[in-house]
Amino acid sequence: MSAADAGSGGVPDRGPAVFAVTTATLVLASVFVAARLYTRLGIVRNISWDDYFIVLAWFLAFGLSFTIDLGATKGLGRYDADIVADDWNDLRRCEYVFSIIYNPALMATKTSILIFYLRLSRNTQQVLRFASWVVLGVVNVAGTVLTLLNIFQCRPVQAAFDRYSGDANCIPLLTEFICSAPVNIVTDLAILALPLPVLTGMRIPYRQKIILVLTFTLGIFVTIVDVVRIYYLQQAITAVSPGVSNNLEATFGDQANFAWNASLSLMWSAVEVNVGIACACIPTLKPLFVRILPAMIIDPDGTLRKGSDTEKQPSDSSRMSHTARGPMLGPVLEPQEAQPAQRRASHSQGSSDSQITALDFLTTPDMTGPAGPTSPTFVPRTSITMTSADNSVYFGFVNMKRPKSMIRTSARDSFKYCTVVTILFVLWGFSYGLLNTLNNVIATVADMTVAQTLGLTSMYFGAGYFFGPLIVGEWILRHDEHRRTKKSNGMPSIGGFKATFMLGLCIYGTGTIMFWPSAVLTSFAGFMISSFIVGFGLAVLETAANPFLALCGPMDYAEMRLLLAQGVQAVATVVAGVLAQKVFFTQIGGSVKTDSATLLDVQWTYLAITLLCVLLALFFYYMPLPEVTDAEMENSTRWLPVDPKKRSVGGLELRTWTLSLAVLAQWCYVAGQEIMSIFFRGLLTPDNSGDTATNRDDHPAELSVSISDYLLIGHTAFAISRFFTAYLAYLSPTHPKVPQPRTVLTICTGLTIVSAILVAALRPKNNPNLLAIPAILFFFSEGPMWPLIFALGLRGQGKHTKCASAWITMGASGPAFWPFVIYGIKQAGRDYQIAFIVVPALLVIMSMFSLFLDLKRDARSLVDARVGAEEQLRIIASGNEELDLHNVILRRRRTGSIATEHPPNFVKRLSMTLGKGLGHLRRNSGNSEPATTEHHEVKRYSPG
């Protein structure tokens, strides 16, 4: 017990500290609300809906703080044994009122902020308005549900605030508080991030832009306070049962020593509400700042400081006139000393060089009400309409060169952009490695059956990867394509690779933070929902990230780029597995007792991942990334030595066959990969008793190292094989003796089938460690398959490339079904090795894709297409110039046709010689010109 916890007479008492902190933050909030009301009523003389809601929030905050302060005088902060008997009823009523008021106070505060955002984004940022409405709906729906849950926390309700002598059933209040924490964190982060794109895109002086951004990011303190509150909530519930209680004599919250355990978390709840109200008021105090601190925008001589006087101009001043993202809203406060004629002249010009100061912008929009006799005059400033230059974008505070089209990106630029996107691969590699271990821990803690454990994997891959790419990923990735045929009314397009990255990160971050309530309640349904949302978000990310790496840069090295990024992802999986086994869940295994508190140890990692997702989404918003249109992709197929639309087997197009077989191969491959990961323990356990959920023994005596360590070795071999194959893909365009990517895929498929058969057939009785050798070989040989299938499947898809990416990503949904087949065979009385024969069967089906590429001449020409260095430079420098394009098409298709055919026989060589002689005679006689002949030949071979 610390000195701060000791009250008078040595009785532990946190009440005085709770009272002091709660009262101080309430005073702070009251000062800011009073300043806001004075500004809006006394200076601006206009009040709006966000002001009404902030006043409502203050009344609720006052009631919240008052109940905590009153409770602190009645025993809040003491152990149950130290609370005076006469204070029990008052204390329970204070705690009950607090539990009801807390969520409405947060709702009113956040609603006020979001209404301000809606007016801030009027006529400018459609995305901000849509996102604000979504967050507003989440805030109010979740807040209403939680409020009703708190009101009816006990059955009957009287048992929540009075000593009820009959039968009662109550929800543990601390558990409910921490379960609602993800909603608060997600909405806090959304409110913090939403206005930043608009604020940083404003064309205002540099110093004032910093003031503007800092003003709106003060809300980070609310998020910090919420995290501290959650920490104390976690500390409070670790010593009590999270289950529902029916104790007839239970104290409030259905948990013993609730007044002591919950005191600090209740205090931080009041701090969260009060600080949130203060931060919400700051952006509206600009007119008050003008009167109190005029030197910030007015020079000592009393003249208004213009933006041009303080602005830091970029080196290229011509770019600055094109940096605004859209028109700036809101009337501005003009000083009374300004001459009306000068203002009219200024507004009549409508010049794009006019400035709007940051503190002018902090005056909320719609302040155009009637002015009183002593009020300052409000004159609306003409909107600043600017167009974006074709070669520059506005990156926060500076200008950056707009990237080229993705398919015309040089090798140097490609390295820069692909390195940035590889961060996403690190993110989901880490997530996969953590979830791979976490699922087994969840199964142990919650005493799940094997079928329930398989359900978590099924939701992650089967549901998330099945619905994510097709419903959301492809729609967002191609949304800008739909808008190209419609009038955008000056609004920026919201589709493409960048938008897909941002949306996928937001969905993924929401899924990771939802792990918190699931861990607290050890709820199987909660874990299922969290796994689904995480898989859904990652599937949306992969829908854009994989084709981005395959398309961004020289065509010849698409496989190399994707293999390198997937290799980094595999390394992140290994690192996450090591952290999970050696840091987070060290107490799992053997006879060590495990409970739900074990899962709480990893929740801070998930919080860090959520924060990282928000930061990455903002980073990708500002980072200028290249895009590509469907038309450009369709035109790029003309560089291939064979027409992808050429009819092939069964009358289907060649690219239709490659895509269909790629999706099937991906579906079978991911199913086999997950079967090995899920049932790895059962395969290595000699007596086949190592079920994924029921067996805690991680290191049987028969094995030299633990099963988890063997799995880490397998994942390491998996990562090494991807880097090794990436090196081969780097050499293959310039070294004829190095196997092509399609050949490497065939070799890897064959090795995987052989190793899978060995895993199913070997029965080493004396040394079961021998079975780990083919298992690790299986991991090594399967490593390059996903990126190779993806890159080869996209080749030649043209205008269907983005849609093809969604379908190939959907192929990862194979684990939705096949692990249950393995488990069914085990339940039928067979061991896991017998059941594992399903894996080589799946891989044989998968081999149809690589065999089609190897045996079908047109498919081989399609995926082996190579563009020389000179031709690549032409693509980058001059784009698709018609003359050069036709020459290259003619040369490539002649070369590809000759290379793939058998050497001509004597009769054919003779006819070719005669044909050349006749052509020579025609040219000498002037009957035909080479250019014309070549033009017709090109038209005959060109697609479309």
Query: Would you state the pLDDT for residue 565?
Result: 94
Whole-angstrom Cα distance, residue 569 to residue 575?
10
Phi, psi of 721 (to 5 degrees): -65, -35
Query: Max Cα separation, the chain?
Result: 121
**Distances 328 to 360, 493, 537 between C-alpha atoms, Å:** 11, 18, 33
- Token pair 């015309």 is found at 408
Q: Where are the domains of the chain?
A: 14-239+252-285, 411-484+491-687+707-878
Residues 14-239+252-285, CATH architecture: Up-down Bundle (1.20)
DSSP 245: B
Q: How many C-beta atoms lie closer than 10 Å to residue 100's C-beta? A: 20
Q: Is 517 exposed, middle or buried (0-12, 13-18, 19+ CB in 10 A)?
A: buried
- Cα 921 to chain centroid, rounded: 67
Q: Is 38 exposed, middle or buried (0-12, 13-18, 19+ CB in 10 A)?
A: middle
Residues 384-407 as b or e (16 or more Cβ within 10 Å = b)? bebeebeebbbbbeebeeebbbbb
The residues, ordered by sequence, that sit 6+ positions from 698 with a Cβ below 8 Å of its Cβ are 588, 589, 590, 706, 707, 708
**Cα 571–Cα 573–Cα 575 angle in degrees, nearest 5:** 70
Q: Is 447 helix (H, G, I), strand (E, B) or coil?
A: coil
Tokens of 382: 């003409």
Would you say 547 and 580 are in contact if contact means Cβ atoms under 8 Å apart? no
Whole-angstrom Cα distance, residue 384 to residue 362?
17
Per DSSP bridges, beta strands 169-170 and 154-155 are antiparallel
Tokens of 93: 């009523």
Tokens of 748: 């890897």
Tokens of 331: 């009337």
Amino acid of residue 310: T
**Helix H or strand E segment including 928:** none
**CATH number for the 411-484+491-687+707-878 domain, one of 3.60.15.10, 1.10.10.10, 1.20.1250.20, 3.40.50.720?**
1.20.1250.20
Residues of the chain with pLDDT under 70: 1-11, 122-126, 163-166, 168, 201-204, 206, 208, 237-256, 293-404, 439, 480-494, 584-602, 686-701, 865-944
Whole-angstrom Cα distance, residue 553 to residue 408?
7
**Strand-pair partners of 245:** 170
Tokens of 340: 């009306």
Whole-angstrom Cα distance, residue 915 to residue 933?
13
Query: Would you state the pLDDT for residue 381?
Result: 34
Would you say 286 and 360 are in contact if contact means Cβ atoms under 8 Å apart? yes
- Model confidence, pTM: 0.74
3-state secondary structure 230-261: HHHHHHHHCCCCCCCECCCCCCHHHCCCHHHH
Q: Is 884 exposed, middle or buried (0-12, 13-18, 19+ CB in 10 A)?
A: middle
Q: Is 747 exposed, middle or buried (0-12, 13-18, 19+ CB in 10 A)?
A: middle
